[in-house]
Structures are given as structure tokens and as C-alpha cells.
Amino acid sequence: MSVKVSPSVLTADFLNLAEDIRKLEKSGVDMLHLDVMDGIFVPNISFGVPVIKSIKKHSTVPLDVHLMIDRPHRYIKEFAAVADILGFHYEAGSDVAETLREIRALGCKSCLTIKPCTNAEDIFEFLPLCDMVLVMSVEPGFGGQSFMPSALPKLSALKAECERRGLNIDLEVDGGINAETAPLAAKAGANVLVAGSYLFCDEMEKRVEYIKSL
């Protein structure tokens, strides 16, 4: 299974988003990772449905929406209308199984996300309801942080559990991915790598190609 790249546009220039998206797509990215922050679940505020709607008009790849919002079940319908993969946090205060089911019922792929403080085993019971699981390798809220190696055994544990149960689930990792950490995450079992600050430079194309080659 080859590694997919889901670039986080958080570090993009928002006044030139269409141009940045064009560059990313030309570089061969597999999807776009959109970080939605509400200033409550995480100490930062980013963007919401109207911006994602505009991004959708300019992109040809699937939109991988990462909700970092409190009690996400309140907004699933709105985000499902613009997302292809819709993820929310296990720790965010919604009924996990019900929210995963709702996402699928609305025609999106479901993604359950865990913060660094959550163990992989805590979400094993929900795996049959997930199309993807996202393991955070930084505290959610900001781009440009350092990779936390504690994400690696979690990815391995999730991969082993999926294999044991015959579940075909994408394993995504998000935060601090660069030339050194990407191969570690891929080796541990991640097959979708989110990268923000690492990709937004003159070497975007080369860096996307490198991650995809892992």
C-alpha cells in the first residue's frame, strides 16, 4: 500500500489559496486536509463551512476535513455537505458511535481522531464505524510543531488491530511530518500523511513525491 499525502492548507497564504491549491494538486497530492478550529476545543480559530465551500470550487481532489471543535455533532450536517472525509475528535464531547454513523449516513467517509493524551485501545470498539482513523502527533491547534514519537506505537497498535479484525481502514497521522518523521510514521503503519509547514516551500513537488515514495 503506497502512502497518500494530505496537505494541510493552514500554512497556506489565504489570499492566494486558489493558486496554492493548484500548486498542490499539480504536485500530485491525494487530498486536501482542512483544519477547522473553534477556539474552544483548541486554543486557535481557523475557518469554517464558507471557506471550505470556496475551496471545493477550486479543487479536484477529495476534501479531508479535520474538525477541532467542541461537541461536533451540532455541525455534522453542514460540514458533511462540503467534505468527502469528515473527521472529529474522540475527546470533543459528542456520542462517538452516533456521530460516526451520521457522517456515513450523510454520504461522507468517517474519521475518528485522537489527541496525544488518548490511547489507541480507547477507540478499538469504534473501528468498524470508521473509514479512517487520525492519530495526532502534536497537540491540535497549531501548525509548525514538533512530532511526538508517542504517536508511533499508537499507529502500530491500530494497524495490528485492523489487520486482526480484517478491517480496511486508512490510518492518518497529523502534525510535525517532515523528511525525518514521515518514514517513521509510514513504517509504524500510517498510510495517509498530513503535512503543512514541510510542504509550503519551493520544493513542494519534490517533497510530495518523497512522501508518496515511502
Cβ proximity to ligand DX5: between 139 and 161 the closer is 139
Q: How far apart are CA 85 and CA 3, in angstroms?
A: 17
Active site annotation includes 70: no
Binding test (CB under 6 A) with ligand DX5, winner from 24, 31, 111, 195: 195
Query: Which residue from 20, 30, 35, 102 is in contact with Zn ion, where contact means CB under 5 A?
Result: 35
Shortest CB 10 distance to Zn ion, Å = 7
122 belongs to the catalytic site: no
Select the residue interacting with ligand DX5 from 32, 69, 100, 194 (CB under 6 A).
Answer: 194
Can residue 174 be called a binding residue for Zn ion (CB under 5 A)?
yes
Binding status of residue 193 toward ligand DX5 by CB under 6 A: no
Q: Show the site string, 54-93: x = touches Zn ion by CB under 5 A, - = not.
A: ------------x---------------------------
Residue 145 found at the interface with ligand DX5 (CB under 6 A): yes
Which residue of 3, 10, 92, 112 would you call a contact of ligand DX5, by CB under 6 A? 10
Cα–Cα–Cα angle for 58, 133, 108, nearest 5°? Answer: 45
**Residues involved in catalysis:** 35, 174
